[in-house]
Amino acid sequence: MTSLALSSVVSLRNGVDMPLIGLGLSHNGGYSDDAVATALKIGIRHFDTAQRYGSEPHLGRILAECGIPRNELFITTKVWRDNYDEDRFTSSVHQSLAALKTEYVDLLLLHWPGHRDGQHGRSAVWKLMEQAYAQGLAKAIGVSNFLPAHLDQLQKTAKVMPHVNQCEYNPLQQSPAITAACQAHGILFTGYCPLAKGHALTQEIIQDIAAQKKKTAAQILIRWCLQKGVPVIPKSIKPPRVAENADVFDFELDGRDMQSLDTLHCDFRATWDPTGVL
């Protein structure tokens, strides 16, 4: 297996390099200046936010003040479905860029597959994403929480297929159908919720491997994702947890460990379930 490091990247279909690990931000108290500062200090360069989170201005401020050149940072944000209409989409993207104090984001995602006009509406908003990409507002574009059927539908009208599909991913939810569909379409599958919001931490298999490796259960889960080739964005507002989640490059899970963790898939969802979205 290729040696992994905090600086490791994966190349998207268009040649853009995306860090394998980042810091996920959130809403309802899911942002902390101290967490971002810690991430920057230890070498994390990928920061994932969204319009819906309300954390874009805070992230923009601290990144603008950190002294790290913009081209060394990787910023992801997501357009919320309230802004999918043509008369709101472009202005919302420009508002996000202004809040983030940047002329472009490295990755712009549609946050959710649902659209009040169904497949037609989804195709229409994807055309707006393609325009944002062509205008240089985003170095890469993608989707989040899209199922295989949504990707197949999009292919019928898309000129540029998504570069990324960001979905829940952890040993309890391995999304096999989605990962296969992404591979078929040349889309990089990336993961959020690698700890299953804590639900995976108490699994006996995970705890046993953690004890053997002298690592935490969280570190085992994140390392498993990375060895699967799935970039992840673990979330935390606590600096010690941010540092812990990034300290996963001084050990390796062997084949038996990986197989044991693979057996935990039970289609459990710790967060949003898009299966009802037509």
Q: Residue 33: which pLDDT band, with cuts at 50, 70 and 90?
A: very high
DSSP string, 63-105: HHHS---GGG-EEEEEE-GGG-SHHHHHHHHHHHHHHHT-S-B
State the CB neighbour count (10 A cutoff) for residue 127.
15
Query: Measured between alpha carbons, how far is 166 from 154 in angstroms, rounded to an integer?
Result: 16
Our CA dihedral for 187, 73, 145, 32, rounded to 10 degrees, sits at 160
Which one of 31, 53, 84, 133 is the catalytic residue?
Answer: 53
Predicted TM-score (pTM) of the model is: 0.97
Q: Residue 2: which pLDDT band, with cuts at 50, 70 and 90?
A: low
Query: Measured between alpha carbons, how far is 144 from 110 in angstroms, rounded to an integer?
Result: 6
CB 101 within 8 A of CB 95: no
31 is annotated as an active-site residue: no
Residue with the bigger pLDDT between 21 and 29: it is: 21
Query: Measured between alpha carbons, how far is 40 from 23 in angstroms, rounded to an integer?
Result: 10
Q: Residue 247: which pLDDT band, with cuts at 50, 70 and 90?
A: very high
129-173, pLDDT tens digit by residue? Answer: 999 999 999 999 999 999 999 999 999 999 999 999 999 999 999
Per DSSP, what are the bridge partners of residue 75? Answer: 47
With 90 as the cut, is the pLDDT of residue 225 above it?
A: yes
Q: Residue 27: which pLDDT band, with cuts at 50, 70 and 90?
A: confident
Give the DSSP H/E element, type plus range, for residue 75.
strand 74-79
40-84, pLDDT tens digit by residue? Answer: 999 999 999 999 999 999 999 999 999 999 999 999 999 999 999
Q: In this structure, which amino acid lies at residue 81? A: R
Residue 22's closest CA among 195, 200, 190? 190
Mean pLDDT value of segment 252-275: 96
Mean pLDDT value of segment 223-251: 98
Q: Residue 260: which pLDDT band, with cuts at 50, 70 and 90?
A: very high
CA distances from 52 to 42, 104, 111, 167, 188 (A): 27, 18, 9, 16, 23
Going by their DSSP bridges, the two strands 17-19 and 9-11 should be labelled as antiparallel
With 80 as the cut, is the pLDDT of residue 123 above it?
A: yes
